[in-house]
Structure 1
Amino acid sequence: MTKNMHVYQAIAQATADHGVDTMFGLMGDANLFMVDSFVRDCDGRFVPAAHEGSSVLMALAYAHVAGKVAVATVTHGPALTNCVTALTEGARGHIPMVLLAGDTPVANPRHLQGIDQREVVKATGAGFVQLRAPETVAMDVAQAFYRAQVERRPIVLNMPADFMWQEAEHKAQVLEVFTAPGGVAPGDILDEAIGMIASARRPLILAGGGAVAARDQLIKLADRLEAPLATTLKAKGLFNGHPYNIDIFGTLSTPAAYDLIAQSDCIICFGTALHDFTTDRGKLMTDKRIIQVDIEPTAIGGGLHPDAALVADSGLTADTILYWLDEAEIAASGFTRELDIETLTAHPLGSNKTAEGYVNYVQALERLEEALPKDRALVTDGGRFMTEVWCRISAPNPQSFVVTANFGSIGLGLQEAIGAGLAAPDQPVVMFSGDGGFMMGGINEFNTAVRLGLDLIVIVANDSAYGAEHIQFLDRKMDPSLTEFHWPSFAGIAKSLGGEGIEVRNSTDLEEAIAGLKTRKGPTLIELHLDPHDVPRMRI
């Protein structure tokens, strides 16, 4: 059915035609009427952020947790440049979302906020779609959504402001995306891969973020081979509950698991690009056969050259390998019969001492792991403190685990925690951040979480310094004072922004903070005061 409307209404309606009911953003000259139409004409929900980049980050986490394309919107010029880090984070993380970005009027090339927006977007690794004319609105929006899904990255739809009040005929246009994955075709490479697996005495199965949907098939294959299971950081929690799950593979492994990986003779990798931190810069992959399976051709061979590479769906490939192992009556390896899984998954605690007025970070994390809500979504910022969080704080499954470290930035966690909370409103969100990251990106959106009434627990590790840099000065016996900051009370800031805030300087304070979580009524911040000279080093 065709309807006559203004372009701003057509954009809103075309977005709603794709099943979108939530839009994150910040309004400006080029998008305010579209947002108004999305809310009033399409019964949509608009989530206003305090900063444009925040709206993109919220959408990224929403897409990850909800499992669908998310949408954000900003206006032109500086609004878009404020999104550069967030778009890069999304592109590096292969997260499908659409950013409806206004642009300055085509008729005014000397507009104060004019910029070549295509080139800005191109630099981030995101895709770009130009709104061509009033009559192409529905097709252009459909193209942006289609590309977001098949390219698995953010796509920016560029909307000139001078189109908005022009007349348009709108007819729903939705491009169906073929998402059925391909299986592995019979051939020499498959035969070679199966031969390597069949002859392995100590095989291990590694799953990354691209293999999350194949959980059941990978477990069947592991059980058939009697091989332990491990995940990359992105797939943390995938094999929770399995008796031979050794958890994260690589520099974040326990010492015992690291040694076990080094002793294995064949690693079957599903849905992982084998990042340097996963392989410990290749050290963990030496003197063993590597089989890499991924639906994305560019993921293969990026970190190291595998002995066999299969461009195919992880689940179907696991089923195929299992079938031929059974047909050939290959005996199980017996590898898991040798394992003491409790030893393999126990991270050392180290000393429980710390200076007066500070809490021991590792001991605090262990206690929080026991006390925090079990059905949580776990969101982590970047920075020095996060590697211990990744190792010691569990996530129920990969979909409920949001890592904001695709670009190595800090200051992105609180924004993504908001998106995660809105995607799964019945699930409490726990977000960990360092002090520098919270100052950079958390303060300006904590009140957004308050306004939305989210069930959010924020734990800020405050060592009054930029810790990674602080360590480098100390290692070279140099004065680290340039890295040190006298921050305000984060707990006090949380209260001033409408939430709850609790300061923790010792184990008694920590127990009181944990007890207070039982009666929390909105966003709550726990500030852990840490000694900058006594914080565990990053494990990467």
Structure 2
Amino acid sequence: MNGAKDMSDARRFTHRSIAQSVVDHGIDTMFGLMGDANLFMVDYYVRSCGGTFVPTAFEGSAVLMALAYSHVSENMGVATVTHGPALTNCVTALTEGARGHIPMVLLAGDTPVMNPQNLQNIDQRELVKVTGAGFEQMRAPETAAHDIAHAFYRAHVEKRPIVVNMPTDFMWREVVHEKVVFRAFSAPAYVPEGEDLDEAVGMIASAKRPIILAGGGAVGSRDKLIRLADRLEAPLATTLKAKGLFNGHPFNMDIFGTLSTPAAYDVIASSDCVACFGASLHHFTTDKGALMKGKRVVQINDTVAEVSKNFHPDAALVADAGLTADNIVYWLDEAEIPPSGFTKELDMMSLTGYPRGQAGKAKPGFVSYVYALDRLERILPKDRILTTDGGRFMTEVWCRISAPDPKSFLVTANFGSIGLGLQEAIGAGLAAPDRLVVLFTGDGGFMMGGMNEFNTAVRLKQDLIVIICNDSAYGAEHIQFLDRKMDPGLAQFDWPNFADVATALGGQGICVRSDDELEVAIKAIETRQCPLLIELRLDPNDVPRMRL
């Protein structure tokens, strides 16, 4: 069969039908690594469908880039890997996506059905199940387009990664391609009625010091939640994942929980009601329940599995955040409930912001971490996408470095892993190529997952700033040894000079060991022409403890 005839009568090989199915869903960018089971599909996607393929150095990186692409853009992130060890290399990334409720599709090859003795053969369904991601088996060559479409549908409605299992021996089978796209229904959850609603409204209406808390499930309801807060004269706060949602509002207390400022923490503790929208109330948010003592808690979430998942509220509604906020305002007005007056008691200047770091406080050869963060917050462009890796350093970054909105903030700590940040930063950059992406990562995290992908950012000519918080140790372990008066030597590492490595990989690297060198790095931010890596040399004994 020649190529022209293949395109004219819609007959084509399965690998071509798979590629065309991806394009049928409006996907113009795919991340991945090629192998036996997907190389022909990728080739056709690029050469005949006009798609962009972003090759990664490690399979898990492709999944992470696709997750970030989904988070930042309005499009579905798509990645592809081959079978066996390629898929096992994606386990951490898939778990990160599943726990973060991020939709994406992974096209994973599988070994030939007719060759069970293949060295790379494993039970891929069972492997995917343990990550929390969904599994979609390609049933036959003839169903390829349907199976791909169903995977996209499931990713949308289930809000998690879906892995499509594609046996290698299907790829060169001849099929007739038909465009199949399933509508992903997105109608908001119902507005509840009955006793549960009456109880929830009653608790909120009778509160003297209410707080409106928004989580990741409420980021699309900003204006409606502000309307409710203004009606109640209640301050606003967010969980970590909704960071930046209420920027600019005069009564925004920022992050609620263990990451609050001490003054905001005291205000939260003194409140008598918290109305939580789109939040699962993780123990970091509630400070293991301490912040919810002595107050009524109302939880509104459109996913029943998230209600009472981590904390049992006094009233719960399975409903859309925005619609419910409007409904509560309606009943407050109908009953002529007066505002609480709580915001009139608050001095917002004292509730936001942390004590500033001071220059010249670090030992020779190091820079003060807090001072460096405060200086970077002031100089980095405000319309940035902020990405953070996991590790000891992260909570101070979350508190001191702002993000313009939740879509511009990527937390790679859903699975408690390190080494995921740079990959997500690259995916975010491809989703928003006109914006600067800033990544904060630790030295251990960069060695684990960043080193092998920094050159990917260089090849893509991305506007990326990587800030490595280098305390020459696995910091969380280092401090545990010190707390028990033990030798922390096993947690310390003599890493290479990361600035030199970045330059060798084609970027620009700057090592910061003093306040003066920090100013050199700041000038480099303003004149950057390629991916820039700033290595902050930190005293491992002078890094603030995690705020968790």
| TM-score, normalising length: structure 2 | 0.98
Shift of the alpha carbon at 1:2?
7.0
The SS at the match of 1:356 is: coil
Give me the CA root mean square deviation. Answer: 0.9
- CA deviations on 1:498-524 (whole Å, 9 max, x unpaired) are 000000011110011101111101100
Following the alignment from structure 1 to structure 2, what is the Cα–Cα distance between the partners of residues 467 and 351? 22
- What is the aligned counterpart of 2:267 among 239, 260, 280? 260
Residue in structure 1 matching 2:233, options 217, 220, 226: 226
Aligned equivalents of 1:379, 1:481: Cα separation in 2: 30
Contact 1:207-1:270 at 8 Å conserved across structures: yes
Residue type of the partner of 1:375? D
Partner of 2:68: 61
* Partner Cα distance (1:158, 1:507) in 2: 53
User: Using the alignment, how far apart are the partners of 2:25 and 2:212 within structure 1?
Assistant: 37
- Cα displacement (A) at 1:11: 0.3
Match of 2:440 in 1: 432
Report the secondary structure of 1:177's partner residue: coil
Contact between 1:55 and 1:72, CA under 8 Å: does it hold in 2? yes
State the partner residue of 1:311.
Answer: 318
Q: Matched residue of 1:46: which SS?
A: strand
Shift of 1:41: 1.6
Alpha-carbon distance, 1:183 to partner = 3.0
Does residue 448 of structure 1 match 2:456? yes
Where does 1:211-290 land on structure 2 (aligned, <5 Å)?
211-290=218-297
**Alpha carbons of 1:268 and 1:223: their partners in 2 closer, same or farther (altered >3 Å)?**
same
Residue 2 to residue 179, structure 1, CA distance change in 2 (3 Å): farther
* CA distance in 2 between partners of 1:451 and 1:302 (Å): 43
Instruction: State the Cα distance separating 1:84 from its structure 2 match.
Output: 0.3
Q: Structure 1 unaligned segments of length 5 or more: list them.
A: none
Aligned with 1:518: secondary structure?
A: helix
**Aligned residues of 1:68 and 1:96 also touching (Cα < 8 A):** no
The aligned counterpart of 1:462 is 470
Secondary structure, counterpart of 2:527 in structure 1: coil
- Give the whole-Å Cα distance in 1 for the aligned partners of 2:486 and 2:74: 47
Give the partner amino acid of 1:135: E
**C-alpha contact 1:415 1:445 (8 A) present in aligned 2:** yes
1:138 maps to: 145
Contact 1:2/1:171 (<8 A) preserved: no
Match of 2:91 among 60, 84, 90: 84
**4+ residue stretches of structure 1 with deviation over 2 A?**
348-352
Match of 2:210 among 190, 203, 214: 203
CA offsets 1:146-197 (integer angstroms, 9 cap, x no match): 1101110000000000000000111011111110102322211111111111
Residue identity opposite 2:146 in structure 1: M
SS across alignment from 1:461 = strand
Does the CA-based 8 Å contact 1:417-1:429 persist in structure 2?
yes
| Structure 2: runs of 5+ lacking an equivalent | 1-7
**Residue 384 (structure 1) aligned with residue 392 (structure 2):** yes
Three-state SS of the structure 2 residue aligned to 1:539 is coil
Work out whether 1:398 is the aligned partner of 2:412.
no
Contact 2:112-2:169 at 8 Å conserved across structures: yes
Q: Would you say 1:175 and 2:182 are equivalent positions?
A: yes
Is the counterpart of residue 338 in structure 1 residue 340 in structure 2? no
Cα distance in 2, alignment partners of residues 21 and 227 from structure 1: 44
TM-score, length of structure 1 as denominator length: 0.99
SS at match of 1:414: helix
2:39 is aligned, of 32, 35, 38, to: 32
How do 1:116-135 residues align onto structure 2 when only pairs under 5 Å count?
116-135=123-142
Percent identical = 71
Q: Are residues 1:43 and 2:50 paired? A: yes
Q: Structure 1 residue 351: deviation in Å?
A: 6.3
1:488 correspondence with 2:496 = yes
The yes-or-no answer on 1:103 pairing with 2:110 is yes
* More divergent stretch after superposition (183-192 vs 74-83): 183-192
Number of matched pairs: 540
Alpha-carbon distance between aligned partners in 2 of 1:491 and 1:302, rounded to the nearest angstrom: 44
Partner letter of residue 116 of structure 2? P
Cα distance in 1 for residues equivalent to 2:74 and 2:301: 19
